[in-house]
Structure 1
Amino acid sequence: MTKILILYSSLGDGHLNAAKALYEAFSQNPEVEVRIEDALDYASALYRNTIIQLYKQLSEKVPLLYRAYYEGTDTTDLETSLDDNLSVAKLERLFFNKLEQLVIEFAPDAIVSVQQIPGRLIQLVEEKNQLAIPHYVVITDVIAHSSWLNYGINAYFIPSQLTANVLIQRGADPSLFQVTGIPVKLEIIKPKTQAEVRLKHNLPLNTPVVTVFGGGLNSKRVRTMVSELLSLLSEAMIIVAAGRNETLLEVLEDLEETEQVQLRKLGLIDYVDDLIVASDLIITKAGGLITSEILARNTPMIIVDPIPGQEEQNADVITIAGAGIQLRLIEMVGPAVEYLLKDRERLAQMRQVAEKVGQPRAALNIAEYILNNIVSQTVSEVSLINVETVQNSELSIQT
């Protein structure tokens, strides 16, 4: 039985969702035992609570300070990046004794890191315990921050060739990069038609549907967008999916649909993929996972309020490709939606671009690559043992 350990850190939903997609992909093989763990569950409570609150406060409450930190710590020299990340890992290791125990007890045939914290800690765990476990890193940002790079990585799975080009320019080894896209749930591989999912969720068949994924957005800014859409659009259904945004539905409570525009307000749901398929247009932040899911379903998107740093870069890449547009002014969302819904040819072009860049099989391709490498390594080791056995036999005969 081949054992795979997938590690992520619960700093945003994206890393968890990518890890879940990989878990699902590896689990397709009955000969594989796969385990998925949040590295922060194996840290001290002090470290875990501090890092989660720091990330939340900086990214949501002080985005400009987050950008300054993100850009200020992004090192362009490869050796400096590797050494800096190793130094950070040595400090963090003091808080992660349980993670070392997990690796030793589970004894995986390969480790897959889907976030920077476990990505840099594993090199120390292996060094201390004299382990030689293949270690793979799945990068979930189109323009990878230098904190993703570490010693002893067997391969990096990256969103696009652009990701590889940037890292190669910094001095990274091109042979380490596999362009697979960001892993998304396997459900997205299954064909779905817009008509069938609209029928399933009682959505209008012949009316444009616009979905706002508001889980990571400022509630008051979502209200501004929705209010504008209600007044501008001549015929549409607006769906607001609040997700884990606990204040959003409350802020939208007094907004009502009009004769021309229907409004549906949703909390936490388990059919995000259905909504993506059902929609003519998605309004969202630029998280690596949600945008990858939207691209994989070929749905055009409008990106608003990306977190400074990696999400801004994700938004730029999607906009340049032509699969979506990015708006800085919330007040421009309404006019943009109105324009795009009237220009069906433009929407069709955006769908075609999304189809070219979307990677619905990313998780399966990553799992297949890693499992094939494990098999190849096993065959090589068996061959080496056989050669040594023959040589020893020949030596005995001569003696």
Structure 2
Amino acid sequence: MTTILILYASLGAGHLNAAKALTEAFSHYPDVEVHSQDALLYASPIYRTSITQIYKQLSERIPTLYKAIYEGTDGDDVEESLDGNLSVARLEFLFFRKLEDLVTEINPDVIISVQQIPSRLIQLLKQKNNWSIPHYVVVTDAIAHSSWLNHEINGYFLPSQIGVNMLTQRGANPELLHITGIPIKLEVLEPKSKAEMQLNHNLLLDRPVITIFCGGLNTQRVKIIITDFLASATPLTLIVIAGRNETLLDAIEDLTDSEQVKLVKIGSIDYVDDLIVASDLIITKAGGLITSEILARGIPMIIIDPIPGQEEQNADVIAASGAGIQIRLPEMVAQTVIYLLNYPERLAQMRQAALASGQPRAALDIAEFILNDIQSPKEVASLVQ
């Protein structure tokens, strides 16, 4: 029996969903036992509450400061980054005493980190206890911030070639860098037809379907976008998914169908993939997981309001690939969508670019690589060339 410990940190839903996808992928293999744990549950309550609130306040309410911190801490030199991350881990370990007990109790054959906090803590625990447990890191952003880099990592799994290029330019060893994509739920591998999904969810078949994923978006900016769509003369169905935006549905309660636009307002859902398949185009932030799911289905995107830092980089990569368009002004969103609907050849090009960029097998590919890698153990290579 091979025992695998997957560690994430519940700062946003992306890391949790990546851990879930990897757990699902490993479940396809016999004699593999998977434990997926939120590392923050093994931190002191003071640290857990503080880091959660700091992340939320900075990313959602003071994005300019968040960007300054994110970019200011992204080192250009691998050796300096390794030393800096180890120093941070030594400070954090004062609040994570229980994490060592967790690893000892599970006694895993492999550890996989899908967030920076557990990744740097595990490197410290490996040094402290002289553990030889293979440790892999799954990067969940298009570009790897230097905080992802640590000592004694057996391999890094990255979304794209540009991420590999940037790390190697900084001096990282390319032998440790593997392009797999971000692990997403295996549901994206299931064949689904657009018409079937539209029928299943009572959507009109005679018009385009536009979906807005609003979790994390500013309520007033979303209301501007919806209002502009309702004024459109182009027939379409507009699906608004509030998700974790708790104020949105109340704020748009007064907005209803117009003559040409059918407005569908929904809270939280467990059928995201169905609506992705049903859509002609999706409006979203640039979270690594949701954009990876959309690309895997070959659906074009309009990206708005990415969190400064990693989501801006995600948006740049998607826009550069031709699979999406990044827009700053909410007043331009409906106008851009209508333009694309009137030029189907442009929309078709974006679909092809999305399919070319999408990596629906990422979770399976990572699981397969790791299981094969531990069958033929070798010394951990240095991250520094």
CA distances 1:20-68 after superposition (whole Å, capped 9, x unpaired)? 1001001111310001000000000000000000000000000000000
Secondary structure of the equivalent of 2:231? Answer: helix
SS of aligned partner of 2:166: helix
Query: After superposition, where does 1:1-399 map in structure 2 within 5 Å?
Result: 1-377=1-377
Q: What is the count of residue pairs matched by the alignment?
A: 379
Instruction: Return 5+ residue gaps in structure 1 as ranges.
Output: 382-399
Classify the secondary structure of the residue corresponding to 1:232: coil
SS at match of 1:282: strand
Matching residue's letter, 1:324: G
State TM-score, norm by structure 1: 0.94
The equivalent residue for 2:383 is: none
Q: Aligned equivalents of 1:298 and 1:233: distance in 2?
A: 27
Q: Which structure has the highest helix share of the two?
A: 1
Unaligned runs of 5+ in 2: 380-385
Runs of 4+ in 1 over 2 A off after TM superposition: none
What is the CA-CA distance between 1:244 and the residue it aligns to? 1.3
Higher relative contact order (CA 8 A, sep 6+): 2
Q: Secondary structure of the equivalent of 1:212?
A: strand
Could you tell me how far apart the structure 2 residues matched to 1:20 and 1:241 are? Answer: 22
Q: d(CA) in 1 for partners of 2:205 and 2:375?
A: 49
Following the alignment from structure 2 to structure 1, what is the Cα–Cα distance between the partners of residues 3 and 87?
Answer: 29
> TM-score with structure 2 length normalisation?
0.97
Conserved? CA contact 1:257–1:263, under 8 Å? yes
Q: Following the alignment from structure 1 to structure 2, what is the Cα–Cα distance between the partners of residues 45 and 361?
A: 37
RMSD: 1.0
Displacement of 1:206 after TM fit? Answer: 2.2
Give distance in 2, aligned partners of 1:30 and 1:242: 39
Among all aligned residue pairs of Structure 1 and Structure 2, give the percentage whose two residues are the same amino acid. Answer: 66
**Residue deviations 1:292-337, cap 9 Å, x none?**
0000000000000000001001101110110000001111001101
Bigger radius of gyration: 1
| CA–CA distance in structure 2, aligned partners of residues 359 and 205 of structure 1 | 28
The residue that corresponds to 1:388 in the other structure is none
Alpha-carbon distance in 1 for matches of 2:108, 2:205: 49
The amino acid of 1:352's aligned partner reads Q
